[in-house]
Amino acid sequence: MAEETSLDERLADLATGGRQAAVPLAAEQIRARGDRRRRRKRAARASGGVLLVAAVVVGGLSLVRPGQDRAPTAADPNPSASASLFVPPTPAQGEEYASELGYVYDAVALDGGRVRVTVQQLRDEKGTGVPTGVVHSLTLPAVTPVEVEHLSGGKPGDLRLEDVVDRLRAGPQWVFALDYDGEGRVQSLREAHWLSVE
């Protein structure tokens, strides 16, 4: 009787071993793959967290680093403190141009058919131009189209930027809408005669 029990146990062991050899242990393989995936995710999260902390620390250090007040360069003797705040507007979906409102002044004709102007940005609040605090300079082709009305003595017309340099030499007086294309280039200036200014 003991021999029969022993024989039954051996046959059961052989059958189990044969089944395991013939059919892969799907559940064990799935579990092992899941464990590997979880380990990779944990490692990725840990390394991503370390990179984020390092980026924050380096960025913070660059903001508080001494010696940020540099002398003005020879090319720009009067740099604007807010020049870095300027971002060229981008056209909305389906639009060809995006406009920036602002005083255009301090025009200077440069060699090579270019004109440098200063722009003091305004925002339109119910038909009134309100300064945003952003001042930047642009160097434009002298042939940039300019639509004028008051600047030309009340006669609406189309001129080129080189034709109005003398009138835009002084300080902030004339407000224009500057039309930017999708690549951040000014395509034209339009006198904002419809806008009253604070």
Q: Which pLDDT value is given to residue 60? A: 62
pLDDT value of position 180: 93
Containing structural domain, residue 159: 83-197
Q: How confident is the model at residue 71, as a pLDDT?
A: 45
91 and 10 part of one domain: no
121 domain-assigned: yes
Tell me the Cα Rg of the chain: 36
CA end-to-end span of the chain? 110
Q: Would you state the pLDDT for residue 176? A: 93
For residue 77, the model assigns a pLDDT of: 47
For residues 97 and 145, the answer to whether their CB atoms sit within 8 Å is: no
Is the same domain home to 12 and 103?
no
Domain annotation covers residue 144: yes
DSSP assignments along 53-100, one per residue: HHHHHHHHHHHH-S---PPPPSS-SS--TTGGG-----PPTT-S-EEE
Phi, psi dihedrals of residue 115, rounded to the nearest 5°: -135, 130
Q: Does the residue 21 lie in any domain?
A: yes
| Mean pLDDT per 10-residue section of the chain, whose length is 198 residues | 68 71 61 71 64 62 53 47 69 88 94 94 89 93 92 85 92 92 92 80
Q: Which of 103, 172, 89, 185 is nearest to 144 (CA)?
A: 185
Is there a single domain that holds both residue 94 and residue 185?
A: yes
The whole-number pLDDT of residue 58 equals 62
Q: What does the block give as tokens for 53?
A: 């902390």
Q: Sort strands 186-191 and 145-148 into parallel, antiparallel or unpaired.
A: parallel
Q: Is residue 75 part of a domain?
A: no
Count the domains in the chain: 2
CB 172 within 8 A of CB 102: no
Is residue 159 assigned to a domain? Answer: yes
